[in-house]
Amino acid sequence: MESVLALRGLVLLRDSVEWEGRSLLKALIKKAALGGEQVHILGCEVSEEEFRAGFDSSINSRLVYYDLFRDPLNWAQTGEALPGGPLGALQAMCERTDPGPVTVALDSLSWLLLRLPCAALCQALCAMSRQHACRGGGPAAGQLCVLGLLHRELHGPGPMGALSSLAQTEVTLSGTAGQASAHILCRRPRQRPTLETLWFSVLPDLSLDLQGGPPLESQPHPDPHTPQVDPASHLTFNLHLSKREREAKDSLTLPFQFSSEKQQALLRPGPGPATSRIFYEPDAFDDLDPEDPDGDLDV
Amino acid sequence: MAAVATCGTGAGSTGSVVAAGSKNNVTSFQRRGPRASGSDSSYSRLVSIAGTRPSVRNGQLLVSTGLPALDQLLGGGLAVGTVLLIEEDKYNIYSSLLFKYFLAEGIINGHTLLVASAKEDPADILQELPAPLLDDNVKKDFDEDACNHKTAESNIKMKIAWRYQLLPKMEQAGPVSSSRFGHYYDASKKMPQELIEASKWHGFFFPEKSSSTLNIEPCSLTHGYIKLLQFIQNIIYEEGFDGSNPQKKQKNILRIGIQNLGSPLWGDDICCMENGNSHSLTKFLYVLRGLLRNSLSACMITMPTHLIQNKAIISRVTNLSDTVVGLESFIGSERETNPLYKDYHGLIHIRQIPRLNNLIYDVSDVKDLAFKLKRKLFTIEWVQDNYLRQERNIYPPGFSYLLKQKDSAWGEGSLQHSTFLMSFLAKETAFASRLVRHSEPLEQTGSGRALQAAGPRLWRDGRRQEAPGLLVTPP
């Protein structure tokens, strides 16, 4: 379970109105900060004070905060705003990171997605990890972790799908009966993606409390998969032969196997049409010309 | 396809003949089978390029896609000058594998490669290519694969009905020799470094090449596509793949591989928005096709069509490409639990095959194809093969079987719609145009052949041929 939380690359935290993800984001930030990584935060949706609430002072001093909430369009014209708007802010964050394990938290990615063209945002996100890898010199996958908070209801399937295809890990928050759950989909480069479900809760001091399984009181859908499909169930023919039938079938000769009996039967003048007679009764649809029974005279 | 000026082939040759037939300017009067001629022989109409062969149907020059099974489905291979579009599966596992097979085939054959990607560095892509399977050490791998497969069925006697023999057999993997058209690759090993270094390749990594963020007006190509097209055009021109600079040395094929075309990383928002810049991708494909038709090159593009929101664009893209193959993996879908598909990893759909200098399609009859990535090999099989192995001994030939697929009329059905049975209709089933009633009901004792034919209106009489326990009155 802990290995799943060793998140690298682009991690999407998809929350919704019922199950908010900012507390999980903060819990992951705290975990990263306690682990000795550098943490950079781009704050867009909530103010800095509100975001920093809940962290204790040691962690707060380690967080590098870029504030886009107070003055996103830089109307106050103070010198401290990051140039270039949100994209420029992402670029600047990337440049200011030192080599080594870094966690970048984007609060929130939805805010950026609503204001920037999606393609540009995707390119910027990929560029971040790549440039960090170039600078750091270590393996690209192990160094940078970008946590992006994404609100599911705000976006259509297009941007969500595009970001999902870029992300290495997708954490979808949902839950039942007061217990939050995270469905974690890990895409590793050349392996099958793995899906895991964790039940967790975030304690007031922003540490993560993982529970092993779902809560005892309710189990709404234990098996999301449909029951096993039996293709032979709705057929008009019988797939299961009895012993007698199987024997009868086995004793058949194939009609086009030219065996010696067949050859003899063909060579021998047959008994003629005595065994089978054909009765023909024309019905309303038959248009039979008695002089031209085959209907192929071009008259 | 490419009208190429002959470059100094022998003066004494019947020049006009050779000029007309050089390289792949194929007419229907081509001599089949290229003469292996290094330089100028007066009778060589097709200069033989390594790794190519003419199609047996119309002499079109073909290259291998890297998967012999896929070559067989596409009618022998990928035609030079055309585009093979792979619609990616949802997690882009198998399509990237096909992409790598394509590039690996180019390296083995000595073709020049052009790798374009917006996500991964082409140098990294080339490091991950699968290793080719060679003759000596591969035979026992195939044998042990085949053994595992056959032990379960050794006790089932197989009776083959005639029609089943007509169905195309998927090419089984076999040991490969280096002069073969298509090669087999071991997906678990990487291609040796010296082969990669010995090959000639050009890489286009979009984030490095994009210098400015221009403001492009709508309905035109996005910046990334313009750059890519210019790059391809430069390579084709400089290296002489279109015959502009006469190649003194042996002619070669340029294999172009473009990965994840249409994804947002190329700057195209076709995957993000429904009504984005919807003409950029289609224009790109149009221009690319023009570039390819005039040069000795073949292109494979992988595209995440599952992300494209506007379905009309997918159909336009399909029309603008020549060959379109779709991959659908079972990961995470409900088909994973279907026992029909339990041995496979996904379905492969051949969506379009080009009509090149032809009036008819060259489509294979087999529709339900599934692929499976074993530890080493990527195989494509007819889905029914799996089930038929169990079902083959249920339907004895010599009887006719009237099928009714749900909600369709009584009749023979089509290969596409029936899951099990179509191959088992016996030859004696005749569709007489007149109503035929038999003198007495046939007694199915299991011996002898069917002497009478079943007419199409037999069912209306309420009398049905009763094969022993095999036709059940439909509910």
Query: Could you read off the pLDDT tens digit of each residue along chain A, which spans 299 residues?
Result: 455 567 778 999 999 998 888 999 999 999 889 888 889 999 989 999 999 988 888 888 888 888 888 888 878 877 666 677 788 888 888 788 777 788 899 988 999 999 888 888 999 998 888 888 777 655 555 578 899 999 999 998 889 999 999 999 999 998 887 788 888 888 887 778 888 888 888 888 888 888 766 655 444 444 444 455 565 555 566 667 788 888 887 777 666 666 677 677 777 765 555 566 777 777 777 776 777 777 777 76
Residues 6+ apart with CB under 8 A from B438: A276, A278, B452
User: Which one is predicted more confidently, B123 or A135?
Assistant: B123
User: Any chain B CB within 8 A of the CB of A271?
Assistant: no
Exposure string for B21-39, b = 16+ CB within 10 A, e = fewer: bbbbbbeeebeeebeeeee
| Greater model confidence, A298 or B194 | B194
Query: Per the CB < 8 Å rule, is B404 touching A119?
Result: no
Beta-carbon separation of A165 and B397 below 8 A: no
How far apart CA A22 and CA A149 sit, in angstroms, is: 7
Closest by CA to A131, choosing from B115, B208, B225, is B208
Interhelix angle for A118-136 vs A157-166, to 10°?
Answer: 10
B418-447: per-residue pLDDT in tens?
A: 344 443 443 333 333 233 444 444 455 554
Judging contacts by C-beta atoms under 8 Å, the chain A residues touching residue B336 are 225
Nearest to A23 by CA among A203, A153, A210: A203
User: Is some CB atom of chain B closer than 8 A to the CB atom of A158?
Assistant: yes
**A:20-59 residues touching chain B, CB 8 A cutoff:** none
Region B215-244: mean pLDDT is: 82
Q: pLDDT tens digits, residue range A247-276? A: 887 777 666 666 677 677 777 765 555 566
Q: B274: nearest CA in chain A?
A: A158
**A110 touches A92 (CB < 8 A):** no
Domains located in chain B, CATH noted: 52-143+180-392 (3.40.50.300)
Contact: A280, B434; criterion CB under 8 Å:
yes
pLDDT at B387: 53
- What pLDDT was estimated at residue B453? 41
Question: B64: closest CA among B106, B116, B112?
Answer: B106
- B128 neighbourhood in chain A, CB within 8 Å: 190
- Confidence (pLDDT) at B472: 40
Does an H or E element contain B285, and which? helix B280-293
- The answer to whether the Cβ–Cβ distance between A281 and B435 falls below 8 Å is yes
Tally of CB atoms within 10 A around B333 = 13
Per residue in B294-344, pLDDT (tens digit) is: 999 999 999 999 998 888 899 999 999 999 999 999 887 777 777 777 778
Report the residue of chain B nearest A293, measured CA to CA.
B434
Q: CA–CA separation, A108 vs A42, rounded Å?
A: 8
Give the Cα separation of B400 and B346 in Å (integer): 33
Token pair, residue B423, equals 């191959």
Cβ–Cβ under 8 Å, residues B354 and B74: no
Q: For the domain covering A2-169, report its CATH number.
A: 3.40.50.300
For chain B, say whether A276 makes contact (Cβ under 8 Å): yes
Q: What is the ipTM of this complex?
A: 0.72
Q: Which two tokens stand for residue B97?
A: 């594998």
pLDDT band, very low/low/confident/very high, at B218 (cuts 50, 70, 90)? low
Does residue A253 belong to the interface with chain B, where contact is any CB pair within 8 Å?
yes
* Range from B80-84, B191-195, B359-363 carrying the lowest mean pLDDT: B359-363
**H-type alpha helices, B203-262:** 206-209, 223-239
CB B260 within 8 A of CB B303: yes
Mean pLDDT of chain A: 79
H or E stretch covering B319: helix B311-320
Are B272 and A253 a contacting pair at CB < 8 A? no
Q: Enter the tokens of residue A130.
A: 């790549």
Given an 8 Å threshold on Cβ–Cβ distance, is A229 in contact with B267? no
Q: Which residues of B touch A230 (CB under 8 A)?
A: 339
pLDDT at B348 over 80: yes
What percent of chain B has a predicted confidence (pLDDT) above 70? 56
Residues of chain A positioned with their CB less than 8 A from the CB of B273: 118, 158-159
